[in-house]
Amino acid sequence: VRLELVWKPYQLNRSLPHEGVDKLQAMIRKFGPGTKLGDPNGQLNQRGKPMGIEFKYHEGSKLFNTYRSHKMLAFVLKSHGAEKQNALMEVYFRMYCTDGRNLGLPDELLAGAKEVGGIDLEAARAALERESRLAAEEALVEECPFHPVIRDAPEYVHVIAASRAIAKGGRG
């Protein structure tokens, strides 16, 4: 049996600006005073650790609109296939969750693509800058603009962990 993992988009908060908002302040607004980020023994790390996902908080980290990252992933799927898209998603997980980078910014998205290698960076930049979306990109991004079941980060971690396990031949 050949498994092909294709990442479908969803947005936890589509109202965020691309440049992002302060992650700690946003979490305090959502969960209240005393909210801690980056606790190595916290719920996110406890759920992510078995699947190799490490969440670190970096001072000034941002929550950002994920639309551009979905657009990049759609471009890579269409032009380079599911295997390359999955490799890029792994890099994006590390860049955001561990390194605290803002994947709402085109230069960061392109840095991830460069790290993966074998992705046409000029075409990728053009796809990110294009005002009108290609039909395939639009269908992919609009197909699932908001996931009705995923309401919070722990559920997001579960989805990531299950997807990664399946992609590596295990069970979700």
Which parts of the chain have pLDDT scores under 50?
135-137, 139-141, 143-158, 171-172
pLDDT at 148: 44
Task: Give this prediction's pTM.
Answer: 0.73
Please give, one letter per residue, the 3-state secondary structure of 14-81: CCCCCCCEEHHHHHHHHHCCCCCCCCCCCHHHHHHHHHCCCCCCCCCCEECCCHHHHHHHHHHHHHHC
| pLDDT number for residue 122 | 96
